[in-house]
Structure 1
């Protein structure tokens, strides 16, 4: 029992390692969770270790969700979401645990996969696989393979092979195979501090005018040849057809295109007869809107409701902007594993993240979003451009 309690505490500490500004390397502690799981003396202790990890890592959720749903749900609802998400993420680990090391050699990778891919992958925060970016930078999918192989070798107590992988990790960190390309210096993100940007909120024309004015000002100031990323839902809702906002954005886009600059700006796009889409609009570019694949379940993505934000969960998340292949992640997607891994298979040049975290500004959530993107960028040797409203 003592060992089990110590492992649960250790799992919780690994979860608390997420969400500390400037300490991205702490994400590497997530790699210890499968090891602790394998050492648990029983199925229930194994489940407790992983529950403790997921609940500690998502500790900002009940407070942020409490603000997000303040007008539509009781306070207990946000705590219930937090507990449910932690339990669902831990469930594969609980069910697949085995006291037999040889059985663990396939159940461990299976648990990693089940928590990364849909349906559990829709709420699969802080998957231990993200630790590959800390341990094997620049190695991409090979680094992921090395991490999972390392777990299996530890289970089998093949210490000589583990030592070889550890040496690879040391070398890859010393060499730092990824180098920021010169063109990436022309790309940047611009954070905003708007008090409230909420999907499906009642129109506030004064606030929308202020947001549009800031976009126009930044577009006018943007130097030739640069790419600027703004956060999610900064623009007022854009409607297809004869819409004033759409006409104004078309003019701005033409001005940016004339000087060879581009802005990626978050907006909700409304098309009659179709669900609203949460997108990044590429001003100054011929690229179509970059559509969010996985909006926040329940908060934005409600397939049973008429006002649901459209989802495209199995899209590739790739757009061509300023001549570069962009892997983009809009807000909630930044926390998940499978959308980014799908995008990485298309060999992008840059990762772009745009988020609207007004509801989570006093929680660890925005920092974790940034950590996850930075770690994936580190693993695949890609520059990361982020913009957040907070």
Structure 2
């Protein structure tokens, strides 16, 4: 292959990896694991940056359209945010890149060990705050497809494969990846369901949670009671993010009254507001009690989490607690809660797994993702992590 074609082909291949690997189909996630190979083969730091940018921008291609939908604006604000969001990913990969060694020629080029350690550092930085705040499309997510049920051993094995991809023996990693993929795809089964746990998807669009009327809540209660009537074994019913809008004592009492005569517990998304801002979270409601169950660890940066407000002494925006409440308990079951944006990044789910949950509960409000693959990518990520740790999963989305 002519040398002049190497750089364009590496960039093109990285775009293909990001586009197809993060298309929303869980079994295609392992394609993202070729990205470290392409990054390590870049002949210069500038090309390595373009390879990283191509992968990330392709993987997150739904962001411009999603932002335009959310703000009812044209594509330009979304395109700007798209590029800004890629900055941390590109910068980290550019800083830790080292020139590939050519044969046995000594020089300043990085050895396999040095390059592997550098990529290991990249993986960790893009999985944890602050860089991990925009650490979407992390190749480590593919662990659930390649090593279902391996739990932390699967995380480690995938990390080793990714590191080997950056060295001279990358062919071994590719061969192992191919064999594992064929085996996994042949034997793939979706995550288990939890007996008695039911999810209710809604199609309320942008109106979900914005209508605080009593009639809205009565209609939603009727939907829940209809679900219970159809599934008399129901113990817990899960509603999407923001389903209840603002959480108030009035809303709590209305729902408790609506659930009288049943033994079902409802988990629903709601916003808990005070003078300083709000928490995006989940609440639990039954006929005899209600309480705030979970406060989102990582709200969506920009649209929800606005740290500059606090820096300038203003109030407003969603609060963030990077490592708070990783596991909560409902009906005697320990759950790993994941709200919307947390399903796209790495550390919330891995932190929750450290606390041995029994089920993953993932909710989202994806009305703004129309004509994009964002919700499908969220679901694929959750399925992959659930399969990796052998856990049942319950998901509820509004579209």
> TM-score, length-normalised on structure 1?
0.87
1:287 touches 1:320 (CA, 8 Å); kept in 2? Answer: no
* Cα-to-partner distance string for 1:292-328 (whole Å, 9 max, x where unaligned): 1111111011131412112211114211112211111
**SS of match in other structure, 1:290:** strand
**1:331 paired to 2:340:** yes
Counterpart residue number, 1:90: 90
2:266 touches 2:285 (CA, 8 Å); kept in 1? Answer: yes
**SS of match in other structure, 1:196:** helix
Q: Which runs of 5+ in 2 are unaligned?
A: 100-109
**SS of match in other structure, 1:47:** helix
1:136 touches 1:172 (CA, 8 Å); kept in 2? Answer: no
Q: How do residues 330-349 of structure 1 correspond to structure 2 at under 5 angstroms?
A: 330-349=339-358
Deviation at 1:379, TM superposition (A): 1.2
Counterpart residue number, 1:187: 197
Counterpart residue number, 1:43: 45
Is the alpha carbon distance of 1:363 and 1:158 closer, same or farther for their aligned partners in structure 2, counting shifts above 3 Å? Answer: closer
Deviation at 1:79, TM superposition (A): 1.1
**SS of match in other structure, 2:143:** helix
CA distance, structure 2, for counterparts of residue 70 and residue 126 of structure 1: 26
2:21 touches 2:30 (CA, 8 Å); kept in 1? Answer: no
**1:247 paired to 2:253:** yes
**SS of match in other structure, 1:368:** helix
* Cα-to-partner distance string for 1:167-217 (whole Å, 9 max, x where unaligned): 983697389699966x71322321111131478xxx6456x7335412343
Deviation at 1:65, TM superposition (A): 0.7
**SS of match in other structure, 2:348:** helix
Determine which of 175, 178, 184 is the counterpart of 1:173: 184
Counterpart residue number, 1:279: 281
Is the alpha carbon distance of 1:15 and 1:155 closer, same or farther for their aligned partners in structure 2, counting shifts above 3 Å? Answer: closer
**1:130 paired to 2:141:** yes
Q: Greater shift after overlay, 350-359 or 184-193?
A: 184-193
2:37 touches 2:170 (CA, 8 Å); kept in 1? Answer: no
> TM-score, length-normalised on structure 2?
0.85
1:352 touches 1:384 (CA, 8 Å); kept in 2? Answer: yes
**1:102 paired to 2:113:** yes
Q: Which runs of 5+ in 1 are unaligned?
A: none
Aligned length: 375
Deviation at 1:31, TM superposition (A): 0.7
Counterpart residue number, 1:237: 246
Is the alpha carbon distance of 1:250 and 1:141 closer, same or farther for their aligned partners in structure 2, counting shifts above 3 Å? Answer: same
2:201 touches 2:240 (CA, 8 Å); kept in 1? Answer: yes
CA distance, structure 2, for counterparts of residue 187 and residue 155 of structure 1: 43
Counterpart residue number, 1:147: 158
**1:2 paired to 2:12:** no
Q: How do residues 16-95 of structure 1 correspond to structure 2 at under 5 angstroms?
A: 16-18=19-21, 20=23, 23-70=25-72, 75-95=75-95
